[in-house]
Amino acid sequence: MNKDYQNPIFRELRDQQVRYAPRERKIEQADRSEELHNEIQDGLEYSYSNICYFITEFKTEIYEEIQMPADSIRHDLQLLIEDFTESARLSPAEVTEKIWTTKELCERFHVVGKTISRWRRTGLIGRKFLSPSGGKRYVGFLDHSVNTFLKKHAEQIKRSSRFSLLSQEEKKNLVEQARILAANGLSQTETAKQLAAMTGRSAETVRYTLQSYDQENSDLSIFPERTPPIPEETRKQIFRSFLDGESLKGIAERYARTPGSIHRIIAKERAEQIMDIPLDYMDSEEFPLVRSRKQEEELLTPPQEFSQSPVSPAERKQAVPHGLPPYLAGLYEIPLLSPEKERFLFRKMNYMKYKASQLRDTLNKEYPNMAVMQQIKSLYEQSVAVKNEILLANLRLVVSIAKKHLTSGMNLFELISDGNISLIRAVEKFDYSLGNRFSTYASWTVMRNYARTIPDEQRYHDRFHSLPYDILDTAIDDRANVFFEEKNHMERKKQVSHFLNQLDEREHNIIMRRYGLGGEQDSQTLRQVGTALGITKERIRQIEIHALSKLRKAADEEHLEIPELNR
């Protein structure tokens, strides 16, 4: 499959059709793509939604605002045709008209293979066919495609047919004439055009000959003033100037470049930034099913039960615990999230990163599309805003846990800061689709982090020393009996360990990995566990649900209430 699409959304279209369209539809879409290729007019721009509808007969709403120039559309349509026919495993026996091979076209028009490659870049449509000898594919040209190209480019083909390799004497004459024209102030492009008219050669042939001479004879080069490539550090400076608000024209004048070259530099630098954006997300079976703007709106519209109904008890403000500093007390002004709203926010956050990640996978770093990059950035910023909303509603959870882990010589704010980092990681790794409450998962994550960062010796030793009054003022131990609480905690760990031993080896392994039990590793996603065990993500989900059901049943039989097992 081709990789050098100039418009990433064409590659996304290719991936969708190759994956889901029936074989007959792929062949039909290749024909429609060629028909569209021949109708595209130079100098115009076309909307992607209309192009997509012409090829697939499906009206997309996601990229309807994107406009693309004719040249890049034709380029990508040719790649689509090749990819569609390659995916369809098209056989020459299925085609009723003559199929020309590259070798046959070379013999017919008296040209070399490089010329055919150049013709393909200027509009000669090729298709991928299965080789009669086996599974290998080759590029063939239908007779009507060759005739269409012949009508549009008759003069170009006529010139190419007269082409023969330049002799050393001809090359020498070209160099001498070029040196005279360059001395009169002509640029390399202008020189190539004039020499092409004088010799009957193509301008591209002349330009290539002169460039090769300059590369091989740097001391005697014809165009020594030719602008060298821009160093990496200069590219960074150009991009920073653009971000600071300097115009393209101003930057181009300062660096003696054309505005077009400056625009390409800025686009590539921005593409590098886009590639560095963290877009890890928790996958969901819902996301790939979103194929239109209407479906996306349905996915991202808040459910009526919390968008229009009164505030639920879970969301009401709670009383501020006594003795907290003003900053920490202010956290209790932020309402808690109801289960419905929590699930909605996690789904929205992960979908935004999923969509941005899908777009980024199609981005061509050599020819990055500015509109697509802006869309990726916007989606990421939206996901961060949702993530911050989740974090703000759960910061008080970290305060509560930090207070219970505060010991002599420790600073409460440092402990809370450490816990907040764990909370951020928990938000990024929480799988909302399992139906669990985030507070349970976050509590495990924060406490597991404290277990690693606070030495056991210090934690138990400091229990037997009186705490200074200033620490007591900010860390009131609201537990009825510290030792009774610790004893219950240790007993609970033994009971959970006993329940886990009732699972078979695979169930036990999956639960340990999914919830990061044992302190040796962080909790893993369904995809990560599936990769480690060599089975699908969906199968991991099924085994986990079955294992949790067994654990809940065992807890019910012994009349134990373990919040971690509640869904």
Tokens 């919390």 sit on residue: 306
Contacts of 284 (CB under 8 A, 6+ apart): 347, 350, 351, 354, 433
- Alpha-carbon gap, residue 274 to 181, rounded angstroms: 45
Residue range 2-27: mean pLDDT, rounded: 84
pLDDT of residue 310: 47
For residue 16, pLDDT beyond 90:
no
pLDDT of residue 390: 92
Residue range 467-490: mean pLDDT, rounded: 45
Residue pair 142/131 in contact by the 8 Å Cβ criterion: no
- β partners of residue 46: 68
Residue range 443-459: mean pLDDT, rounded: 73
- The four Cα atoms 16, 22, 28, 30 give a dihedral, to 10 degrees, of 40
Residue range 123-146: mean pLDDT, rounded: 84
Query: What is the average pLDDT value for the chain, to the nearest integer?
Result: 79
pLDDT of residue 480: 44
Q: Which uninterrupted H or E stretch holds 314?
A: none
- Alpha-carbon gap, residue 251 to 260, rounded angstroms: 11
Q: Residues 194-244: pLDDT tens digits?
A: 888 888 777 777 877 887 787 777 778 887 755 567 788 888 888 888 888
C-alpha distance across the termini of the chain, in Å: 44
Question: If we measure between CA atoms, which residue out of 466, 442, 462 comes closest to residue 454?
Answer: 462
Q: Which uninterrupted H or E stretch holds 67?
A: strand 67-69
Residue range 341-368: mean pLDDT, rounded: 88
pLDDT of residue 133: 67
pLDDT of residue 272: 87
Sorting pLDDT into bands at 50, 70 and 90, what band is 455?
low
For residue 449, pLDDT beyond 80:
yes
Contacts of 474 (CB under 8 A, 6+ apart): 323, 324, 325, 412
- Alpha-carbon gap, residue 354 to 274, rounded angstroms: 14
Better-scored residue on pLDDT, 110 or 151:
151
pLDDT of residue 142: 92
pLDDT of residue 485: 47
Comparing 138-147, 257-266, 370-379, 475-484, which segment has the lowest mean pLDDT?
Answer: 475-484
pLDDT of residue 348: 92
Helices in 217-338 by DSSP H: which ranges? 232-243, 248-254, 259-276, 293-300, 304-307, 326-330
Sorting pLDDT into bands at 50, 70 and 90, what band is 565?
low
Sorting pLDDT into bands at 50, 70 and 90, what band is 558?
low
Helices in 277-369 by DSSP H: which ranges? 293-300, 304-307, 326-330, 339-361
Neighbours of 462 (CB within 10 A): 16
Residue range 341-367: mean pLDDT, rounded: 88
Residue pair 153/123 in contact by the 8 Å Cβ criterion: yes
Comparing 1-10, 170-179, 452-461, 471-480, which segment has the lowest mean pLDDT?
Answer: 471-480
Q: Which two tokens stand for residue 506?
A: 């695979």
pLDDT of residue 477: 44
- Alpha-carbon gap, residue 165 to 528, rounded angstroms: 58
Rg (CA), the chain: 33
Can you say how many angstroms the Cα of residue 153 is from the centroid of all Cα atoms in its chain?
Answer: 40
For residue 470, pLDDT beyond 50:
no
Q: Residues 48-106: pLDDT tens digits?
A: 888 888 888 877 766 667 788 888 888 889 999 999 998 888 888 888 899 998 888 88
Residue pair 555/502 in contact by the 8 Å Cβ criterion: no
Q: How many residues does the chain have?
A: 567
Across the chain, how many H-helices and E-strands are there?
A: 27, 5
Q: Which two tokens stand for residue 405?
A: 């882990």
For residue 309, pLDDT beyond 50:
no
Question: If we measure between CA atoms, which residue out of 450, 353, 444 comes closest to residue 405?
Answer: 450
- Alpha-carbon gap, residue 402 to 41, rounded angstroms: 67
Q: Which two tokens stand for residue 528?
A: 């990560």
- Alpha-carbon gap, residue 17 to 79, rounded angstroms: 13
DSSP 3-state of 243:
helix
- The four Cα atoms 289, 293, 299, 303 give a dihedral, to 10 degrees, of -150
Percent residues over pLDDT 70 in the chain: 81
pLDDT of residue 288: 85
